Amino acid sequence: MLAIICAMQREAEVIISRLEGKYTAPDGVFSMGRLKGQPVAVAVSAPGKVNAAIAATLMTLETMQHMLKIDTVLNLGVVGGLVEEYRQGDVVLPFAFVQYDIDTTSVGDPPGFVSGVGAERFIASGKIMALKTALTLKLPAAARVYIADLCATADRFLGTREQKQAVRDRWKASICDMEAGAIAQVCSITGVPFLSVKVVSDTLNGDAQEYEDALDSAAVLLADIAEVAAELSKSERW
């Protein structure tokens, strides 16, 4: 089963509306159903690293693995662009993830080093190229699909070019968000393959208003992405 994690209801609502045989838990956090004929679980975690990590942990616990047979966690949502080439509405698949607000360099650790895991960066599942190819072929022709070298995650919304440029210069990341790096960490511990697909909401020069204006159209595109991933999950390439 494909497990999808979105931070916000606005990111997930179109996905959930397309589920067949839908069941949503009373708390509204978890929904299940079939998407393009394939079983899917959807969690709305709420923004931020801890919230995202809790959702990922719950979905990848051994008991859930046994009950639902989750074989991949897919983080879907909007993201800030850190490079000039990314435009609003671009689709980006990060290859690697760093939590740039973790800093224990004063005790000799590398920047972004996650104690207890012993890693600075987490890598997406090897399924990333198959998903990128499928998205390129099946999304609307206007959609531009990229592989990003690095997604920078922190409990921080970057609302100015100066803030974004500083993260770009320091980490060489192409996009920034508040969840993916934490989910990647959980999946590396639980051993469940992890992928993330993001839609650019605010560009390098964008601000909170540009982000807000992009959410409705991004939600539709995220649902299209979820359907492509669900279809791909039944193929031998998955």
> What residues contact 35, with CB distance under 8 A and at least 6 apart?
2, 15, 18, 19, 20, 226, 227, 230
In a domain, 233, yes or no: no
Strand 151-153 and strand 194-202: the pairing is unpaired
What are residue 220's phi and psi, to 5 degrees? -65, -45
Query: What pTM value is reported for the model?
Result: 0.95
In a domain, 232, yes or no: no
pLDDT of residue 195: 98
Whole-angstrom distance, CA of residue 69 vs CA of residue 86 = 36
In a domain, 236, yes or no: no
pLDDT of residue 98: 98
- For the chain, residues with pLDDT lower than 70 are 62-66, 236-238
Instruction: Encode pLDDT of 65-123 as tens digits.
Output: 667 789 999 999 999 999 999 999 999 999 999 999 999 999 999 999 999 899 999 99
Whole-angstrom distance, CA of residue 150 vs CA of residue 172 = 7
In a domain, 227, yes or no: no
Domain containing residue 117: 2-220
pLDDT of residue 28: 78
- Three-class secondary structure of residue 27 per DSSP: coil
In a domain, 226, yes or no: no
pLDDT of residue 188: 96
In a domain, 80, yes or no: yes
pLDDT of residue 86: 98
Q: How many domains does the chain have?
A: 1
Q: How many CB atoms lie within 10 A of CB 182?
A: 29
pLDDT of residue 63: 62
In a domain, 159, yes or no: yes
- Buried residues in 88-111 as b, exposed as e (16+ CB within 10 A): bbbbbbbbbbbbbebeeeeeeeee
CATH assignment at residue 200: 3.40.50.1580
In a domain, 61, yes or no: yes
pLDDT of residue 237: 66
